[in-house]
Amino acid sequence: MFNDQGRNRNTNTLRFSDILDEMMEDAFSWNKGTFVPELNVYETDKEFEITVALPGMSKDDINIGFENNTITISGERKLTEEDGTKYHRIESRFGKFERSLPLPNVIDEENISATYDNGVLTITVPKLKEKAGKKIEVS
């Protein structure tokens, strides 16, 4: 009447739930152990602003580079394990990551700046004044 996990075989709801959990786990196993942070990009007349969600990370674990009009953000989000702690479920993703974002050839790379606050990395990428363009009024 009970299977090897101690579940009642006659309870279809539990069994269906277990099968569904296994199917979902298999379907997403390609992504198991990887961390791909969410990235947003905003543009104004004067700059680009990039925000990256990096919850639980230290700013020392984040690297930012700019080369060939491409900004690259990389790092590693680590799972902190404590002795005596038994995890029953971990839905957060951990591991090394790298995100690259090509930008147009209007960047003032000497004045790129970054801040990290409450798990959100904000990178401000100013445009060169002479390449930022100008608005033409219609007369």
Residue 73: burial class (beta carbons within 10 Å; 0-12, 13-18, 19+): buried
- Is the pLDDT at 20 greater than 60? The verdict is no
pTM score, whole prediction: 0.67
Q: What is the pLDDT of residue 47?
A: 93
pLDDT bracket for residue 49 (50, 70, 90)? very high
- Is the pLDDT at 81 greater than 90? The verdict is no
